[in-house]
Amino acid sequence: MRVYQYTSMISGGLLSAAGCIFLWTQIPENQGRMILLVILFLFFLLNIGHYLYFRRRFVRFSEEILWNAGRIMRKEKEHAPYREHNNKETLTSKVIMELEKMEDILRNRVSESEQEKEKLQKTISEIAHQVKTPLSNISMYHDMLSDSDTTKDEAEKFRKIIRQQLEKLEFLIDSLIKSSRLESDMIKLNMENNNIFHVLEIAVNDILHKADRKKIELSIRCDSDITADCDVKWTAEAIGNILDNAVKYTPEKGNIYIDVSQGEMYTEIRIQDTGRGIASGHYNDIFKRFYREKSVSKEEGLGLGLYIARNIITLQGGYIMVHSVPGRGACFSVYIPQRR
Amino acid sequence: MDILQTKNLTKYYGEEPLLVKALDGITLQIEQGSFTAIVGTSGSGKSTLLHMLGGLDTPTGGSVTVDGQSLDGMSRSELTIFRRRKIGFIFQNYNLMTNLTIYDNIVLPVELDGRCADKQYFDDIVTVLGLEDKLDRKPNKLSGGQQQRAAIARALITKPAIILADEPTGNLDSRTSREVVGLLQATGKKFHQTIVMITHNDEIAQIADRTIRIEDGRIAESRW
């Protein structure tokens, strides 16, 4: 807008100057030339006036911007003159809006790092809670073992319990290391266009033995040429965790179906079981760290598997959705982007 | 921080004894950067609520505050500019301009405001939404899912304070629906956008951080 004003001013000036020179040569008498000079002078004054007017407007505009930038930085947005600039077609209003958005982004970053700290605090207290139970069990049974009254049979039983608790601790620590590596971006995902069938092979291998023991029938439907942009090892880990859950909560002689299909942007890996299912209100809860449904507390587990699975998939730009009819089975749909 | 607040929001139609209470005292806060799903059956008042949040309709009582600005005192022209700059809309039927290319459709809200789209940001959005090779096409040459992705890009381009999505998957098959909401959630997180989505479909709603259930114009349940 302003550039347009200046160019019109300059080109107007040049044009009229050319006109004046032309007239000067055409008018022979002095009187006529005098009149021309006066007109020229008036024109000059007009131009100066024009210039001063726009200069003043520009100065005012900069002052407004600076003043409002100060308001935004000092978080005094409620100040009345500031609010007057909102939602207008003026340049000031547009610049202020952009400044506000920038301030929003900066504030977001700050609050994000604060949230990170809170998350870390929560993680530490949750881990402490999880480690405490097996530790206090171990210490209790150790004391009982040391007691001279303990019979041989009892001692054997206590040793077994201590062994179990140690195994639980080991598993917990392993899982925690995995999840903390995922969260702190310590692992480097090796993203490539990978064959999904190959990923499924690795994932299924890990649970085949458990499924066999429960006589669960496993069927896979996956075209050999379906690919997705993912890290083979970690994706197999995520799928493996979901499959592990499916095996755990499906009764003997049940079924697990794996079905892979390609959509517009994502490759979907659908894992359906004929297990106990999940109540619709808990779809999001099951992905939370250390979440265990009350009715399944008898089953072994820490509530880390699905949490890790979701982290892996989210890190790769995908997501997981759940659908279930309680009592008739659950269906996990893992979506992985096809390309980047 | 709360980016959107409503206080005792009401919307009545007609008069006693035929008074219809479409919204009956809704008080809620939406946190910046969150993805909220508002679920309810048809006629529960969820669409009315979204229209109030976006300044598309005026409430009978109560107030709506978006990004620190109250919507009640605004004139029509102020409200128009406010919507253009602060709110991104995604509709069930995409509402793309059929005579414009996808590129022009996406940058439309910025150009309406007499500004130029940030090239880098535009490229980022288009890449994430997988629209790079569709930019010179007209909307009717694209599938429903692709059109809705273009509508998501159009909502993102102004970096609005909040994105309001009204049944964004209403016209899509279930597979594409799940892809589009997944993408909506992923882009929301990537670009730190606050999203409020209306849906009658519980399965779609699970992707959100928070679900608010509306029944008979009131909040029946709100869970994280």
pLDDT at A106 over 70: yes
Measured between CA atoms, the residue of chain A closest to residue B160 is: A101
pLDDT at A80 over 60: no
Measured between CA atoms, the residue of chain A closest to residue B175 is: A263
Least confident of A144-148, A301-305, B97-101: A301-305
Is residue A277 within 8 A of residue A325, CB to CB? The reply is yes
Give the span between the Cα atoms of A192 and B74, in whole angstroms.
52
What's the mean pLDDT in A30-57? 87
pLDDT given at position A82? 65
What's the mean pLDDT in A79-107? 77
Q: CB A264 to CB B74 under 8 A?
A: no
Q: Are residues A205 and A308 in the same domain?
A: yes
Q: Is position A257 within any domain?
A: yes
Chain-wide mean pLDDT for chain A?
A: 82
Measured between CA atoms, the residue of chain A closest to residue B80 is: A87
Strand, coil or helix: what is B189? helix
Give the span between the Cα atoms of A168 and A301, in whole angstroms.
9
The helix or strand, by DSSP H or E, that contains position B46, with its residue range, turns out to be helix B46-53
Token digits for A278? 């999940």
Q: Is position A207 within any domain?
A: yes
Number of alpha helices (DSSP H) and beta strands (DSSP E) in chain B: 7, 10
Confidence of residue A56 (pLDDT cuts 50, 70, 90): very high
Q: Which domain holds residue A10?
A: 2-84
Q: Note whether A163 contacts B: Cβ–Cβ < 8 A.
A: no
What's the mean pLDDT in A163-177? 83
- Closest-CA distance, A314 to chain B, in angstroms, reads 9
pLDDT at A49 over 90: yes
- Closest-CA distance, A128 to chain B, in angstroms, reads 25
> CATH code at A160?
1.10.287.130
Q: Is position A107 within any domain?
A: no
Q: Are residues A255 and A213 in the same domain?
A: yes
Token digits for A17? 């100057």
Q: Is position A111 within any domain?
A: no
pLDDT at A193 over 80: yes
Q: Are residues A159 and A240 in the same domain?
A: no
Q: Are residues A247 and A321 in the same domain?
A: yes
pLDDT at A300 over 70: no
Complete DSSP assignment for A78-142: T-HHHHTTTT-SSHHHHHHHHHHHHHHHHHHHHHHHHHHHHHHHHHHHHHHHHHHHHHHHHHHHH
What's the mean pLDDT in A149-176? 84
Q: Are residues A126 and A22 in the same domain?
A: no
Q: Is position A90 within any domain?
A: no
pLDDT at A281 over 90: no
Domain spans of chain B?
2-218
Cβ contacts of A75 on chain B, cutoff 8 Å: none
- Closest-CA distance, B96 to chain A, in angstroms, reads 20
**Residue among A78, A89, A268 whose CB faces B81 most closely:** A89
Q: What is the DSSP letter of B57?
A: S
pLDDT at A5 over 70: no
Confidence of residue A48 (pLDDT cuts 50, 70, 90): very high
pLDDT given at position A46? 93
pLDDT given at position A4? 67
Q: Are residues A163 and A243 in the same domain?
A: no
Confidence of residue A45 (pLDDT cuts 50, 70, 90): very high
Q: Note whether A108 contacts B: Cβ–Cβ < 8 A.
A: yes
pLDDT at A81 over 70: no
Helices A91-146 and A30-73 sit at what angle, rounded to 10 degrees? 20
Least confident of A52-56, A336-340, B12-16, B67-71: A336-340
- The number of distinct structural domains making up chain A is 3
Q: CB B1 to CB A319 under 8 A?
A: no
Is residue B179 within 8 A of residue A298, CB to CB? The reply is no
Q: CB B178 to CB A321 under 8 A?
A: yes
Cβ contacts of A340 on chain B, cutoff 8 Å: 127
- Closest-CA distance, B223 to chain A, in angstroms, reads 9
Q: CB A319 to CB B185 under 8 A?
A: yes
Q: Are residues A134 and A249 in the same domain?
A: no
Structure confidence by residue, pLDDT tens digits, A229-265:
888 888 888 888 888 888 888 888 888 898 988 888 8
Per-10-residue mean pLDDT, chain B, length 224: 84 82 85 87 83 86 84 84 87 87 88 83 85 86 87 88 88 84 86 88 84 83 77
Site from B118, B179, B210, B213 to mutate, A interface, most A CB atoms within 10 angstroms: B179
Give the span between the Cα atoms of A35 and A234, in whole angstroms.
89
By percentage, how much of chain A surpasses pLDDT 70?
92
pLDDT given at position B195? 92
A residues 227-266 near B, CB within 8 Å? Answer: 261, 263-266
> What pTM, to 2 d.p., does this model score?
0.76
- Sign of the alpha-carbon torsion through A278, A280, A284, A288: negative
Confidence of residue A121 (pLDDT cuts 50, 70, 90): confident
pLDDT given at position A2? 59
Give the span between the Cα atoms of A261 and A333, in whole angstroms.
11
pLDDT given at position B17? 80
Complete DSSP assignment for A242-281: HHHHHHHHSPTT-EEEEEEEE-SSEEEEEEEE-S----GG
Q: CB B192 to CB A97 under 8 A?
A: no
Confidence of residue A52 (pLDDT cuts 50, 70, 90): very high
Q: Note whether A97 contacts B: Cβ–Cβ < 8 A.
A: yes
Q: Are residues A282 and A178 in the same domain?
A: no
Cβ contacts of B85 on chain A, cutoff 8 Å: 87, 97
Token digits for B14? 């007609």
pLDDT given at position B114? 81
Token digits for B151? 């509508």
pLDDT at A340 over 60: no
Supply the CATH classification number for the domain B2-218.
Answer: 3.40.50.300
Of residues B99 and A7, the one with the higher pLDDT is B99
Q: Are residues A134 and A49 in the same domain?
A: no
Q: Are residues A178 and A206 in the same domain?
A: no
pLDDT given at position A295? 67
**Residue among B68, B159, B178 whose CB faces A101 most closely:** B159
- Closest-CA distance, A322 to chain B, in angstroms, reads 8
Hunting for tokens 């587990």 — which residue is that?
A: A301
Total Cβ atoms within 10 A of residue A74: 9
pLDDT given at position A33? 79
Q: Is position A25 within any domain?
A: yes
> CATH code at A308?
3.30.565.10
Token digits for B101? 């290319």
**Residue among B115, B146, B185 whose CB faces A94 most closely:** B115
Say whether the ipTM exceeds 0.90.
no
